[in-house]
Amino acid sequence: MESVRTVCPYCGVGCGLEVVKGPAGSKVRGDRAHPSSQGMVCVKGATILESVDRDRLLYPMLRASLDAEFQRVSWDEAFDAIVSRIQAVLATQGPDGICMYGSGQFVTEDYYTAQKLIKGCLGTNNFDANSRLCMSSAVSGYIRSFGSDGPPCSYDDLELTDCLFAIGTNTAECHPIVFNRFRKHHRANPGKVRLIVADPRCTETGQVADLHLPIRPGTDIDLLNGIAHLLLRWDRIDRAYIDTHTNGFAAYEGIVRQYSPDWVADRCGISAELIETAARIWAESDRVLSLWSMGINQSSEGTAKVRSIINLHLLTGQIGKPGAGPFSLTGQPNAMGGREAGGLSRLLPGYRLVTNSQHRAEVEQFWQIPAGRISPHTGRSAWEIVEGLETGDVGLLWIAATNPAVSFPDLNRTKAAFARSPFTIYQESYHPTETTAFAHLLLPATQWSEKTGTMTNSERFVTLSQGFQAPPGEAREDWAIFAEVGRRLGFREQFWFESSADVYQEFVQLTRDRPCDMTGLTHDRLRTQGPLQWPYPDSTLPEGSQPAKRLYTDGRFNTADGRAQFIAVHSRGLAEPPDAAYPLVLTVGRLYGHWHTQTRTGRIDKIKKMHPHPFIEIHPFDAVPLEIGEGDWVAVRSRRGECQFRAKVTKAIAPGTVFVPMHWGGLWDDHAEANSLTHPEACPDSYEPELKACAVQLAKLDRP
């Protein structure tokens, strides 16, 4: 029996897995030694091995046009096609004609090598990732408020807090092991440890809350400012903390003084008593921990929402101490590693920004590329890639480890744009996905069980994800594909790596003296010591030691003067509010068993039985006038598309709001692509689209 320690490749909780290989095959179980998950796993982690050998892409395949058949080609032919296309686009459109769209499924080594190729060698910042659709508002919020990205909290805080304030997150279903850790603490301390949930749905998280606030979609800032208003009115704020560690309080105070409970109640669609109860719990708690995820981030004012949560923590000094702080939960397993490696179109490795000339110069020097090679302009965000395809400004699109033909907003427009791409490379482990239909060249990639690399979870723990199987067919590691393209383009010195350990060794040097310093980490150290949390500088730490669990414990932030920054902001509300023609707000979300677009979980029998089909949740108040009953088929129309779902009539959703899961793409159901309804209006700071809310109308269908 041989056992391999690795990490779950699904969500940002980052649970440790132990794969035990025996004569009858491999089995997976929770790794009891992993500090984040302590041996726990959810159904996704427990069934992961069932997906590894299903419907794999085995060989490179090429076709001349989207209506032609794919033909198997050699890797040499595939690389020739990529290099000649890149050179042609560079000659005719320049570097910005090239775009890559990657994924939080990448290990950090994949992310880093892609940044070096696209931003360093080719000279365009057109690298974006599915993290754009997931948590880029959290990145922007942390940067604006604290001077740097980086969730400041630890999962241990879940067991030390007096009040968990969960807003825009169904943690019980979407980050189940995080929730399990809190729930044990919550159950063991009834009445002493309180859970507040703000969500238009009474989700599984809301069902066990001490206080559920079913606010209208788009009114989060009103609620947060309303709580701040009461804390100010009651003088339950930390003036010493504000005076010593923050800027901008006077303007913030001027704004939130306007948010009386009655006014906020009217905006949010809940009673003033509920708002006062929430504020009272916050005021009475010694330690308050906020959690949020896509319900906050996927918004046309996502950055302002994140900063409004942070405001409350600055106002009350609830940060930098055990059991407290503003804690963004990441969606993808290595979204955090992507942030560290510079995996969004405004970022460079080591929490640097492309718009900062000193940052660019540091990276250029380190990469040994000519000064000025890294563009000073922010590259295309996910949706701007679609717009670039529409205008013809994008001549080559390279998609890797993600399925945007299901996950992008306004899917009908997205697909029409993808169909116009002159040349699309699709690097993926599975075949087919919905995105395969838009590819000219398919590249088979190894997946989690066949590659070794690092992943960072939401609490900054870095785990070595260790491969334990040979790849099928001719699949190659993502970083190795990027490196080989780089070498064939003439950048031999830049892509000297022979292993992912080599890549990591180089990458961590770019984090030296940065907020995410992890110069003390190597693959070997992670293999022998297990997961380690950053910051982890190389100079000070003896074997087995662990630096601070939390950031900002001394109240010094990464701004020029060391102070955090309040934001004073009014809510703008939804980008597409309901009206007479489209009177309901659609919100989309995730179910416990499925992962995103089902590329893996749609191939696992147990999970398919758990969630056999998509549905729409409708409050009786909205269902009865339309004569919609339980199980009836319902057409859901927005200004962009139509879907059909079976109705679940339930009081778990607020009146005026309907909910559908986002997991079903065209491969699994012809009529249930939730994102054919959503719109691309995005936060002006984070460019994260408002996937969480659009206006729809319903009609009952006469269908068996």
Fill in the DSSP letter of residue 511.
T
Binding mask 357-396 for ligand SF4 (x = CB under 6 A): ----------------------------------------
Selected binder of ligand SF4 within 4, 5, 14, 347 (CB under 6 A) = 14
Residue 13 tokens, joined? 């909780």
**Which segment (39-47, 83-91, 232-240, 552-560) binds ligand SF4 by CB under 6 A?**
39-47
Residue among 332 and 421 whose Cβ is closer to ligand SF4: 332
**If binding is defined by CB under 6 A, does position 335 make contact with ligand SF4?**
no
- What whole-number distance in Å separates Cα of residue 481 and Cα of residue 441? 13
List Cα–Cα distances, 256 to 221, 305, 311, 345, 569, in angstroms: 10, 14, 11, 34, 9
**Which segment (41-49, 340-348, 366-374, 404-412) binds ligand SF4 by CB under 6 A?**
41-49
Residues 164, 194 contacting (CB under 8 angstroms): yes
- What whole-number distance in Å separates Cα of residue 264 and Cα of residue 621? 23
Residues 395, 98 contacting (CB under 8 angstroms): yes
Selected binder of ligand SF4 within 4, 5, 6, 8 (CB under 6 A) = 8
Residue among 607 and 616 whose Cβ is closer to ligand SF4: 607
**If binding is defined by CB under 6 A, does position 42 make contact with ligand SF4?**
yes
Selected binder of ligand SF4 within 4, 13, 501, 574 (CB under 6 A) = 13
- Least distance CB 154 / ligand SF4 (angstroms): 16
Buried-exposed string 195-208: b where 16+ CB fall within 10 A, e elsewhere = bbbbbbbbbbbbeb
The sheet with strand 211-213 has its strands ordered as: 211-213, 194-198, 163-167, 288-292, 325-328
Dihedral sign computed on CA atoms, order 194, 196, 197, 203: positive
Residue 480 tokens, joined? 């190795």
Residue among 373 and 603 whose Cβ is closer to ligand SF4: 603
- What whole-number distance in Å separates Cα of residue 564 and Cα of residue 585? 35
**Which segment (11-19, 150-158, 334-342, 551-559) binds ligand SF4 by CB under 6 A?**
11-19
Residue among 44 and 216 whose Cβ is closer to ligand SF4: 44
Residue among 63 and 603 whose Cβ is closer to ligand SF4: 603
**If binding is defined by CB under 6 A, does position 291 make contact with ligand SF4?**
no
Residues 202, 659 contacting (CB under 8 angstroms): no
**If binding is defined by CB under 6 A, does position 10 make contact with ligand SF4?**
yes
**If binding is defined by CB under 6 A, does position 45 make contact with ligand SF4?**
yes
- Least distance CB 556 / ligand SF4 (angstroms): 32
- What whole-number distance in Å separates Cα of residue 422 and Cα of residue 89? 10
Residue among 42 and 698 whose Cβ is closer to ligand SF4: 42
**If binding is defined by CB under 6 A, does position 11 make contact with ligand SF4?**
yes
Residue among 45 and 317 whose Cβ is closer to ligand SF4: 45
**If binding is defined by CB under 6 A, does position 134 make contact with ligand SF4?**
no
Which residues, at least 6 apart from 309, have a Cβ–Cβ distance to it below 8 Å? 141, 167, 224, 290, 292, 296, 326
- Least distance CB 571 / ligand SF4 (angstroms): 31
Q: Which residues pair with 30 in a beta bridge?
A: 17
In this structure, the number of other CB atoms found within 10 A of the CB of residue 123 comes to 18
Residue among 29 and 570 whose Cβ is closer to ligand SF4: 29
Which stretches of the chain bind ligand SF4, using CB under 6 A? Answer: 8, 10-11, 13-15, 37, 41-42, 44-45, 176-177
